[in-house]
Structure formats: C-alpha cells, structure tokens
Structure 1
Amino acid sequence: MMATKTLFSRGGAKDLRQSVVNKMGRGEELASSLIKHFDRINTINPLWDDKEIESLLLKQKEFEVSLIGEKPNYPKTLPRFTPSSSDSCNRELFFKNLKAERDEEPMTPQQKRWTENSTGVHEARQRNLLYGEKYLPNPDFTVERVKDEENPLRDGLPAWEKPLEDWKVIEHKGITMVVTGMMDGILRYKDGTRIGFEFKTKSNSVAQIKQLKEPAPYHKKQCVAYSILFGVDEFVITYESVAKDKWSTGENARPDMKAFYIKVTERQRQQLLDKWAGISENVETGELPDGDNRKCMFCPFKTECSKYSGGIRA
C-alpha cells in the first residue's frame, strides 16, 4: 500500500481546525458585531459633541504632547522588536538592530495626504467607539481604560495608541530581547472578554473591501506580536475604505467596512519568538541572515542590503 503524504503538522492542523471553528462561530459573531456597532453609532443623527468624551480625548492629546522629546526607557543594549515589523525580512530587522545607515525615504505630497487621510479616519473610528459605549443602548463593545496611578496624565485614558504603549523584556531560548509598541485598542466585549482592535484603511476604491477574503498575512503577524506584548489572544481586524460609494446610493451603497476575527495560538507566539531570538543571535554573532526579496519595497536598508545581495533568498 502506498504511504499517504502528511500535508500538515499536528500543530498546523490544529491551527487550521481552530481557524474554521472560529470563522463559523465566535469569530463570525465578534466580527459582525463590531461592524454593526460602528453602523449603529453612525446612524445617530444628529449626535452632538459630548463634553465628557471630548475632554477625555483632549486629556489624551495632553498626554501625547507631554511625551514629545522624551526618550523611551526600555533597555537600549538589548535587541529590540516591534509588532509593526513582525513580518519584516530577517535581514531588515538585523540591520535595524545594528543601527545600519538608512536610505532616504522621500514622500510625495500625494503620499503624505494619503497617510494623513488614513490617520484622520482612524481617529474618527476611535472617537466612534467612545461615543458608542455611552450612547448606544446595551453596546456590544466598550473601550478599556489604562490604569497608571504613578502618572495622572495617563491614568484613565483609553487603552490605545500612546496611552497603551509599553515594552517588555523577554527571555526565549537563552536569548534576552525587548518587544515594544502600541496598538489600535483593547476593547471589552459584552461577555467581558478582552478583544484586540486593529484598524486598517484602504484608499484606492470601495471595491477593495468587497474583494477582501481574509486579513493580510502581515496584519495577522502583528496580532501575534500584540498578543505577546499585551496578553490579548482574540483580535478583530477592521478594514475601512477611505473612498466611499456615491452619496446618492444611500442604503444601497457598497459596504465600506469589513472585519475579520483572529485567535492567536501559543504555537504562533512561539514561532514569532523563535524568529526574534534567531535574529538576536545573528546580531550578537554578526552572522548575516538570509533576506527575502518579496519584502523590499518598504525596507529602509536597500542600499546596505545590496552589498550582500548574493545572499538573498526568497
């Protein structure tokens, strides 16, 4: 009898099975609930400015201003990794930790406005979340608050962005390193569970939202890093198109938002920690890791890397 070929490891099969269960059950519930949550708050018209909420957002801005010019207090001698670069090429992270010279990264006016538009939508959705928890009857989601008795400017702020920013020293396979970063938010679902909120924008057309079938792999990897840093296992990644359907389409407009549920597994956390530990060891020994030429577009070390281009492997 011919032996059957194993397509998945036990861990991989478990992750796939969990993914299917999540998609059909709780995951689908959480993803659809968050979209409905945004839709409900965006149908209240008019929704007048709330002094309490706007004062909280002003307090957040005051805290952010207080950080301008402040240097981070994590250990500078250890290799450092951030969630936003979790899916980056190993060689990019190697050069980053060695503080190699970066390429100049000019940005056109159009690109600058692109990022500013996305930031503006991002802030509007976070504001929606605060209004939703106060003005919706039985809201599905509320925003967790930061607790910091030592810093009155930070204490009580929404658990997102700069107020949530943190760092952690991690030991893995004999390697000591730092992971540091912030995320788009930690929410509380109506059942009391903590849910990581990740928000992404699409800027080309509303059709991009319909075409989405699952989160981008690098967005999933970000959630794994957030899980390590903030101790959250469940995430809802929400995508919104900055471009909208025609005003006249009204209720028949094409959907401009879509959400996906991610449940981070211990195996995924260990895999990312393995990657970071390996790069940390490369930094210690000076051994150049392999590169990945599929991830060159946004790499700030292309000039440095080109000196060793013969070693890049996809």
Structure 2
Amino acid sequence: MTGFPPQSAPHARAPGRVTIASARYYSLPTSFALALPLIGALGVGFLYPVSKLIALSFSEGTLAQYQRIIAEPLHISVFLSTLEVAMGVTLASLFLGFPVAYLMVRLRKGRAMVVAACVFIPLWTSVLIRSYAWVVLLQRNGIVNNLLTDAGVTDAPLKLIYTHGAVILAMTHVLMPFMILPIYSALRALPADYVRAARNLGAGALRAFVAVTLPLSLPGVFAGSVMCFVLALGFYITPALVGGPGSMLIATLIGQQTIVLLDWPFAAALSTVLLSVTLLFVLLFRRALSFSKGLNNVN
C-alpha cells in the first residue's frame, strides 16, 4: 500500500462542460448560448436605439445638424457649461464623499450602520422629490433665506435658486452615494496590516494615509468619479427644477428640441455628441486608472 491517498473517481461531465481542478469551464458554444439573452437585451435596448439615433442625425445625408452645433455659440456654451457643472459635481462628491466612506470603514458596526443608512436612504427617494426639496430650501422665501434674514445676516433674501451653484449643490446631494459606495468598497478591501506596518515603520497617521490608504483607494475613487461624471453629464430633472432657464445644460437643451421645437434630427445630433463626449471621458478615466495601477506596481 502506498502512502498516497486513493484517487477519487472522476465526476461525470455534462455535455459541453469541462471540469478542471474544481473549476467549471464551459465550451464556446455553451458560453455563447448562456450569454445570448444578455446579448439580445443589449442589442434591443441599447445598440439598436443608439444606431437609430445616430442615423437620424444624418437624416439629410449631410453634416448639417452638426454644423448647426458649431455655428451657434449658444450650443457650444451649453456644452461647456455642462462639462463645468459635471466636473464641479464630481469634485464636490469626491471631497465630501471620501471622508464619509472612510468613516464608514473605521467606525464600529452599529455606528457604521447608522452612517450607511444616511447614505442609502436618499437612494430610496425619488430624484424628483429630492430636487424639489432643494427648491423649497433655496427659493426666495425658503427656509435658508428666512434663517439668514431672521438671524440678521442679510437684509434681503439672496438669489440662491436658479444658479449654477444651486445646480451643483443639488446634483452633488443626489449623486454623492454613487461616489461613496465604490470608495467604501475599495477601503473595505484594504488590509489593516498595511497601515499598521507603515505606522510601525515610523510613519504618522497622515503619512500612512497619504502613502498607503489613498493610493490603494484610487480604483474606488476612479470608479465613483466615472459614475458621478457620466450621470451628471446627462442629468435632466435636477437642472430643470433647480437651475431654471438661466442654467441650461445639454440634457435640458435636448429635451427642449424634442418636446417644444420637435426638431428630432438636431436633438439626435446633440445626443450623439453627448454620447461621444461621455465615451471619451470614460476611456480617459480608464486610461488614468491603468496608469495609476502601473505606478503602484512599479513602486
């Protein structure tokens, strides 16, 4: 008798499935069959509408609709304003959301659950309700202006609503959970031994955070930034309610072209440009994330 354990009988394999080292790998036809419903849903729900949208923007067989975008300074201004607001919302969500995610990781379970509830509860509320709440807070006779005048800080109500600042504030409140959750996931996966080793080697709390915690949390930061920026580019309800006609963004302009002016080819051209800008920034974020991982591996 040898000292080796007896080999178990090979498991029966179903057709199209290969079992190797307790992991199951499906053949190419089986994998394609399993992914076919998802591919069909992607084609019907995304690829077909997008292709029809792009084709509609070239309905005249020329670039006339895109030339209208470039020829009119208002359209360029709206695009730049949209990028400015989206970047402001992303940065505000990052600076406000990172401490919250860090706090959720460091607190004990009971207190962390309270903070997590404060993050999740807004997600269960309609965006329309949350945006209208900011209208109630920031309007001329709203709660904020009443508090300022009653406290003697201002003599007359301030113009807080229908400004770029109000749009950025309201959109940050709506989108900040999409920044907190990826950062929390990245910080949660960070082993505590790394920070403990840095402290044992003489690094202070700030030095350990800058040299260890912050670089290793960058995947969560990039993921949250991509989601916030992309969602902010196409936001419609909050800018329409809080920004008003004086703070028109690209989504509001597209809605105006489709609902009010019924200029569908021009709206399709605006949507195609917005989609192209969104894909460009997603690729840039992915490139930056890959570069960051490369630096971490080198170091």
- TM-score tier after normalising by the smaller chain length: under 0.3
More helix by percentage? 2
Taking structure 2 as the reference length, the TM-score comes to 0.28
